[in-house]
Each structure stands twice: as structure tokens, then as C-alpha cells.
């Protein structure tokens, strides 16, 4: 087993009180202070960061659409690679601070998982080629 198959390349993004104390600040239409993402320092983290940011953004968007008040959101996306540097998959976890019911938050999570554009695009696969 290669050392790379054991390494993970997680990257967190947070808003509100779940923001990291240091990192890259992204202006964000759903939060006044923006989102803080821990800097991505390698290609694996750069692949995972858009998943975390998209799920965070869509959590706010879909919560508003569903009438769920969200105070703070944090998402960590992580994954690893096999010996050939093929992704073995990307997983994400979400932390929500809200006074909504547990059932409403479970429903929100299911909706976000269905509609979040970046995870959907990655799940569908995409051909990547160098331009001539």
C-alpha cells in the first residue's frame, strides 16, 4: 500500500461562529463577515475546497428557500487517492447551528446533497483534457 492511499486532503470552510480563526476570507452573499476557508496547499485540497464551499453556500440558499433559519455553517470536504493518483472519493461533513428542529435540518441536508452543483458535477464525471 502506498503512503498516498493513507493520506487525506481535507479542507474546512466555515461561516459565523464556525469560521476558522485564520484562513482565506471569501465574501459571501449569505453572511456579512464572509466565509473562512483554511488555505489549500496542495492539489488534493484544491479539488475538495469547491465541494466544501458549494455545500456551505447551498446550505444557506436552501435553508432560506425552506424557511429554516441558519446561524452558522461549517463544512469539511475530504478524500484520498490511490497509488495511481485516482481519487478514491470525496466525503463531506456539515455542522449547522440553528434553532430549527432536527427533522428540518435532516431534510435540509438531504436537499442540499441533491442540489449542490459542484458535488453533482463531480459525481457525474467530466472529461478533462489539455488544449492543443
* Distance, CA of 127 to CA of 8 (rounded, Å): 24
The model's pTM is: 0.88
Break the chain into its structural domains and give their ranges. Answer: 3-124
Top-tier CATH class for 3-124: alpha beta
**Cβ atoms of 89 and 13 closer than 8 Å:** no
**pLDDT tens track, the chain, 132 positions:** 344 444 668 889 999 889 888 888 898 888 888 899 988 888 889 999 999 999 999 999 999 999 999 999 999 999 988 888 888 999 999 999 999 999 999 999 999 999 999 999 999 998 889 998
Amino acid at each position: 500500500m502506498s503512503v498516498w492511499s493513507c493520506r487525506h486532503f481535507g479542507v474546512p470552510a466555515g461561516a459565523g461562529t464556525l469560521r476558522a480563526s485564520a484562513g482565506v476570507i471569501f465574501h459571501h452573499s449569505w453572511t456579512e463577515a464572509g466565509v473562512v476557508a483554511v488555505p489549500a496547499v496542495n492539489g488534493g485540497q484544491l479539488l475538495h475546497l469547491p465541494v466544501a464551499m458549494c455545500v456551505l453556500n447551498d446550505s444557506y440558499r436552501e435553508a432560506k428557500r425552506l424557511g429554516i433559519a441558519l446561524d452558522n455553517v461549517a463544512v469539511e470536504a475530504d478524500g484520498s487517492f490511490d497509488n495511481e493518483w485516482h481519487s478514491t472519493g470525496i466525503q463531506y461533513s456539515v455542522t449547522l447551528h440553528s434553532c430549527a428542529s432536527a427533522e428540518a435540518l435532516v431534510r435540509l441536508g438531504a436537499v442540499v446533497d441533491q442540489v449542490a452543483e459542484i458535488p453533482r458535477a463531480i459525481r457525474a464525471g467530466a472529461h478533462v483534457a489539455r488544449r492543443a
